[in-house]
Amino acid sequence: MQSVSQIVEKIVHRQVRQRVQSAVQPGVLQNIIAQEMNAVILNAFNAQLVDERDKALGRDPYERGHQGASRNGFKDVRLPGLWGNLTLKRPVVRKGTLKLPMLDALKNLGTGLRDAIAVRFWLRGASTRAVGEELKAITGRGLSAAAVSLLSNTLEPVVRDWETRPIPPGIIYLFLDALYLPVRRPGFTTEQALLVALGIDEDGRTHVLGFSVGDRESKDSWEGLLKDLIARGLAPKALRLVISDEHKGIIAAVADRLGAPHQLCVVHKLRNVKYRVARPDWKEFLVDFRKVFWADNRDHAFEAAGALRARWGVAYPKAVEIALASFDDHLRFMAEPPHLWTLLRTSNLIERFNRELRRRLRSAGAMQSELEIRKLVWSVSQAQESRWRRRPLKSKKDRVQVKVQEFAVA
């Protein structure tokens, strides 16, 4: 008779499998996971097998082990992979026997290897550290330092190809934001700016378009990222809206390089206002503030702005000044379909992505190099885009492809 814990485990496993399978879109997940993740997993297994052989026989390719065994190339061994088979390179020796604990562990899993890897890597993303941790959880054996190092090197061309890929066609909304990451230098730790760009296309799909790493956030650094996006196929004239905070570097770079309508984040404005208003008055001030930027049209927004100034202008002149500064630039979302206003009013979409980067950083610690930052962004992007593919803005309620003039504001 099964225990309660065994029954619960089976139910959870089945639910996770159903979530993974329901997310599979023909030609999308199969291509991404079967090609990129299968390659990552295969490299990890092969690297570990080679390391186990080397430890048994000695590091020198021509050095004989204590039993007189020596290297004799590799033999293909097929194991069930994510889709299709994984063909491992099993090290072979002359004379004697070679015990490979990792291969034994994989064989013992049999056809369960596919399900175990699919579920775990789907949920975690394919970072080098995740590969090592999840292989240990699946097989009971982790990756050696040498295997992790080799695997890390094999990821670099994958990341580089992803960074230079063409921009998906039809990007109409562009989100920009930056965060600072700790990076270790000889003898000290410093911070580097990571600039990130997300895009939403005409079919409602969200994409990580690109990123750049630099010493600081500035007009020049943002122009560098925008130039790269344009060179890879971003069409400035097709952009209906760019969404970001009020950083002067972003504003200047967008004006010079894109010339597209620029929506400034309302939530950032709200944060700046909050500390200018006394706590007893804040709730009422917030109600009046929301009447401005959550109005149902521009005319009502202007009326609410006048009411805000009349009621609070004397008591909190600085708060009102900040609240109504760059007024039009905080209402540009109103030229878009109303059901998208919540999405386009703020930069929350890209800030949620950056929060996931920070969460991963908390477990990884300070980055050792720019390459590690690039791998981190790649890994988080793979996991995040898989989630976005499950929830495109493409339903009747959330459809993006609406004629602009139907929602133009007089």
203 token code pair: 């079919």
Note the pLDDT of residue 407.
32
| pLDDT tens digits along 330-385 | 999 999 999 999 999 999 999 999 888 888 776 666 676 777 788 788 878 887 88
Note the pLDDT of residue 142.
56
Note the pLDDT of residue 390.
74
Q: Are 131 and 116 in contact (CB under 8 A)?
A: no
395 to each of 121, 200, 201, 203, how far by Cα in Å?
Answer: 28, 15, 14, 10
Between 186 and 21, the higher pLDDT residue: 186
- Indicate the pLDDT class of residue 48, thresholds 50, 70 and 90: confident
As to burial, measured by CB atoms within 10 angstroms (0-12 exposed, 13-18 middle, 19+ buried), residue 302 is middle
| pLDDT tens digits along 380-391 | 888 788 788 777
Instruction: Give the β-pairing of 241-244 and 188-201.
Output: unpaired
Highest mean pLDDT among 119-128, 213-222, 277-286: 277-286
pLDDT over 80 (residue 80) = no
Q: What's the mean pLDDT when you consider all of the chain?
A: 77
Report the alpha-carbon distance of residue 109 to residue 80 in Å, rounded: 10
Note the pLDDT of residue 136.
61
- The string over 365-403, giving b where at least 16 C-beta atoms fall within 10 Å of a residue's C-beta and e elsewhere, is eebeeebbbbbbbbbbbbbbbbebbeebbeeeeebbeee
pLDDT over 80 (residue 286) = yes
Percent of the chain with pLDDT over 90: 41
Note the pLDDT of residue 32.
45
Instruction: Please give the sequence-ordered ranges of beta strands (E in DSSP) within 258-380, or none if there are none.
Output: 262-264
The residue ranges of every structural domain in the chain are: 4-163, 167-261+366-395
Report the alpha-carbon distance of residue 137 to residue 283 in Å, rounded: 49
Q: Which residues contact 124 (CB under 8 A, 6 or more apart)?
A: 130, 133, 134, 383
Q: Are 130 and 379 in contact (CB under 8 A)?
A: yes
Highest mean pLDDT among 31-40, 140-149, 298-307, 391-400: 298-307
| pLDDT tens digits along 297-335 | 999 999 999 999 999 999 999 999 999 999 999 999 999
| pLDDT tens digits along 167-220 | 999 999 999 999 988 877 777 777 888 999 999 999 899 999 999 988 889 999
pTM of the model: 0.65
Among candidate residues 361, 358, 369, the one with its CA nearest the CA of residue 185: 369
